[in-house]
Chains A and B, each alone.
Chain A
Amino acid sequence: MLDGILQGLNTAFLPINLLLLFVGCFAGTFIGMLPGLGPVSAIALMIPITYGFDPSSGLILMAGVYYGAVFGGSTSAILINAPGVSGAVATAFDGYPMAQRGEAGRALALAAYSSFCGGTIGAVFLLIFVPFLAKVSLSFQSADYFALMLFGLTAITAFAGKGQVLKAVLMAVLGLMLATVGEDPSGIQRFTFGITDLYDGISFLLLSMATFAIAEALVVILRPAPVESEQSSQDVSFKALGSMKLSKEEVLDVAPVVGRSSVLGFLVGVLPGAGATIASFLAYGMERNLASLKEKLKFGKGSLRGLAAPESANNAASTGSFVPLLTLGIPGSATTAVMLGALLSYGVQPGPRLYIDNPAVFWSVIISMYLGNVILLVLNLPLIPYISRLLDIPKQFLTPIILFLSLIGVYLVSFNPFDLVMMVVIGAIAVFFRVLNFPLAPMLLGFILGGMLEENLRRALMISDGSLAFLWERPITASILLITLATVLIPQLLSMLRKNS
């Protein structure tokens, strides 16, 4: 393990990789600040750029973009009450009132310090958990992997919002269906309708760019921005941000909050499908419940604790969501799903073997995730007053440029104009689903897991000679399937019980 860590350190500290990390943090902060574009879009936009890179460098850039986008989302939540990412919604509850009081600088500083601490605690936990889980999962067989894929798919649906479970299941199945387009594992063409451009299937990059980058940019146009948020953008970004200093008492006051929220955030982040949004709301709720009556009244009106809790939790959860990806090869969130796709396109198969076969990639990603936090704190925080000016670029210029970058990003991988047309069609359908409030993340997850699910199902069925007994023969398989069933059924049962009572 020590050798691996040293290899990872060597790779992460290469000057080119440090530069990429810095560029990633900066670009991610900017993209994350734009309302409507989150870490998923930011990472998706980076994939075509990183195709020529070696896997470590590509992933380091993406890790920087990821953290930058999460931080950028919090920045726009604090400055203009428009969270760039859903994980930053709870940040706006107390961050924006602070900005309105003329304490935007302090709010941003606290957000950055809390994120840094959340990321640090998350990285330490990651360092402990990942090698251990990776070793355990080495004993997994096809049947276990099939059960794990099912668990990954159902977990994201189980954590879907109220009334969203069936829709999330449908979207995951839709993603699985799209994954069957093209050549099957035995070389037979499926659903290609004689179109040669479909023989290799739908590209993952095309689907993720169409459903996130293009659809989100179009939805921003479709939904007129509230006048208030546009005005406040002008107000705050031109105003002086105020001091960025926190007093010693304030730091001591929020320190336990940051510790508790980071641990909670990491544990929630590890659960597939839960992610930063749920973690930030849980941490916010927990701190409000734990606060004294006097402190409780400050929540929602610019409480430091109310800002520190979701910020540390969402960053720790972002780190935690890498645990299932790196150990089991199952993405725990839409962002890690996109990263899984990127890893596969580099020819790197995430999962327990990654830890053994590619220790440099494995450890450099973990180390660069931590370095990303350091860079955000040291470099991005002082740059915030300048970066926030980028919010003033008119939407009428920015949106077509984002659309162009998304389109050209996909073209640069395939050099096939057919992909551009297909991307627009899928983007339009994605807007339709967004309007109808159907979640797109499960679809992407289904699409990515589809290939692996089929391969493992096929292998498990062949080993068991067509019998479905492989589902309960091995204790690991049976246990995972039981957990899967519980994950789906328990929230439904609880909701039914609540309704009855």
Chain B
Amino acid sequence: MNFLNSKNKVGSSFILLFSLIYLAAIFEIPVNESLSYDVVSARTLPYCLALVAILVCLLQIFVSAEDDSEESLHTAIQGFQWRPCLQLTAAMFLYGMSFEFLGFLLATFLFLLVGFAILKEKRYLLSLAVAAGVALFMWLVLTQLFSIHLDSGEVYRMFFGS
């Protein structure tokens, strides 16, 4: 099977790359001089883990027997709906990035509204009502019932002060 078409090999290569970066980063770990007599340092376990990971990755990539029954990557991802998945991931990312600026209520309302739209919900009024309802309900439960402080956001402070 083509290397890039094998799920096992692609996955193992990814972990191999991660392990090599991890191994390189081990040398950045400071060694505490006052504890230099210790038989174990902050680097001991990471070294062992990096070596085991690299060894197992290489085993998986080069040595493990080719399994003909394994579904190819191409077949596995056939029919996948990448677009809504990526859009939702981006929406979550933006939700996290804009949380402090927009505040809990506005960021949550917008995230839910965008999420419903990404999943092709055409009943816009219902979407608006559900997004506003969920955001408001959660805000009320968290702030009024559990007395949790939620950031009102920069936008709120710009218009209404602190």
Contacts and interface: CB of A to CB of B under 8 A. Distances in A.
Contacts of B44: 457-458
Contact of A188 (B12, B14, B29, B111): B29
B42 A427 contact: no
A408 B148 CA distance: 12
A424 interface: yes
A461 B25 CA distance: 24
B10 A191 contact: no
Contact of B45 (A180, A404, A421): A180
Contacts of A417: 96-97, 99-100
B77 A435 contact: yes
Contacts of B134: 401, 404
Contact of A401 (B39, B89, B99, B112): B112
Contacts of B14: 432
Q: Which one of A173, A188, A224 has the highest number of Cβ atoms from chain B below 10 Å of its Cβ? A: A173
A418 B112 CA distance: 20
Interface in A422-461: 423-425, 427-428, 431-433, 435-438, 453-454, 457-458, 461
B142 interface: yes
Interface of A is mostly: helix
Nearest to A420: B96
Interface in B111-133: 111-112, 115-116, 118-121, 130
Nearest to B39: A466
Given A173-B49, A427-B89, A222 B15 contact: no
A30 to B, nearest CB: 16
A400 interface: yes
B11 A224 contact: no
A173 B70 contact: no
Interface in B47-101: 49-50, 52-53, 56-57, 59-60, 64, 67, 70-71, 73, 76-77, 79-82, 84-85, 88-89, 92-93, 95-97, 99-100
The SS class assigned to the B binding surface is: helix
A400 B115 contact: yes
Size class of A's contact patch? Answer: 35 or more
A166 B60 CA distance: 7
Given A170-B53, A465-B39, A424 B96 contact: yes
A218 B35 CA distance: 46
Nearest to B71: A437
A462 B38 contact: yes
A394 B121 contact: yes
Given A433-B11, A436-B73, A170 B56 contact: yes
A176 interface: yes
A424 B32 contact: no
B40 interface: yes
Given A224-B79, A396-B119, A170 B60 contact: yes
Contact of A218 (B45, B71, B89): B89
Contact of A462 (B15, B40, B108): B40
Contacts of A176: 45, 49
Interface in A388-422: 394-397, 399-401, 403-404, 407-408, 411-412, 417-421
Given A400-B115, A407-B92, A417-B97, A170 B57 contact: yes
15 contacts: A163-B70, A173-B49, A173-B52, A177-B49, A177-B50, A180-B46, A184-B42, A214-B92, A396-B116, A396-B119, A396-B121, A412-B142, A424-B89, A427-B92, A436-B10
Interface of A: 52, 163, 166-167, 169-170, 173-174, 176-177, 180, 184, 186, 188-191, 193, 214, 218, 221-224, 394-397, 399-401, 403-404, 407-408, 411-412, 417-421, 423-425, 427-428, 431-433, 435-438, 453-454, 457-458, 461-462, 465-466
